[in-house]
Amino acid sequence: MTASGSKDIAVVMRTGSDSEMTSGLSRDETRLISDAPGVARDGDTPLTSAELFVIINLPKRSTGLDANVPLRGVEMTAVKVRDDIKIVQGNMFESGKNEIIVGAGAARAFGGLDLKKEIKIGQNTWTIVGIFTAGGGVAESEIWTDAAVLQPAYKREDSFQSVYARLSSAGSFTEFRDALTSNPQLKVKVLRLSDFYAEQSEMLTKFITTIGVFIASMMALGALFGA
């Protein structure tokens, strides 16, 4: 996760949220974020992607048992925001269609995520049109689709959970953050992508360590009573 972060990409979420799952942003809020100073542009188009994030269950290839897989709805600009995304098989999904692209790591780990296959997610059937890499980063464990298609499929209406923004330079972060946090129309927290992943990694490490200590303690107690 820490290897995935770039200092010239920022993540914007609702104030008080500790992850994308607990965040929420309206369409109007995402537009204000995209118009903020410090955002890189491709012509007149701001390089931002308003996104939503859900967890689905798919069977592991190794065990056949279900496990969690992130399904991310993104805007078409997402591959320009994260410039390490490369389609290595097939092609990018088309806007407005029930098409998905699958990270190379997810494709290796989970059954049914093969190019040109169809999978049932919720009430919808989705076609896998591409496999992508992300420089070995965390995005390779995800499935991506058009946010506008994922919203009605999960009854999210016109809401999002985060905005990813490519900045004009790493040094533009302070200008971008201050413009958003001082805007009375917004209640957001702004992080560099590198700091966001470091924060998420620390939370995951603490969780695993806590569970590990608990299990080790129970085993030690069992051994003590056994002795």
Q: How many Å apart are CA 36 and CA 89, to the nearest integer?
A: 35
- Residue pair 82/123 in contact by the 8 Å Cβ criterion: no
Q: Tens digits of per-residue pLDDT, 99-151?
A: 999 999 999 999 999 999 999 987 899 999 999 999 988 899 999 999 999 99
Residue 178 burial class via C-beta count within 10 angstroms: exposed 0-12, middle 13-18, buried 19 and up: middle
Summarised one tens digit per residue, pLDDT across range 209-219 is: 667 777 887 78
Q: What is the DSSP string of 81-97?
A: HSTT-EEEEE-PPPTTS
Q: Determine the Cα–Cα distance for residues 147 and 89; give it in Å rounded to an integer.
A: 21
Which amino acid, one-letter code, is at 83? D
Between strands 124-133 and 99-103, the pairing is: parallel
Please provide the average confidence, as pLDDT, over all residues in the chain: 90
Is there a contact between 28 and 158 (Cβ–Cβ < 8 Å)?
Answer: no
Domains of the chain by residue range: 2-193
Residue position matching structure tokens 């269950």: 57
Return the sign of the alpha-carbon dihedral for residues 113, 119, 123, 124. Answer: positive
30-46 tens-digit pLDDT: 999 999 999 999 999 99
> Binning pLDDT at 50, 70 and 90, where does residue 29 land?
very high
Neighbours of 86 (CB within 10 A): 12
pLDDT at residue 159 greater than cutoff 70: yes
pLDDT at 59: 95
Task: Give, rounded to a whole angstrom, the gap between the first and last alpha carbons of the chain.
Answer: 42
Contact 53, 162 (CB under 8 A): yes
How far, in Å, CA of 29 to CA of 100, rounded? Answer: 26
75/93 Cα distance (integer angstroms) = 11
pLDDT of residue 7: 86
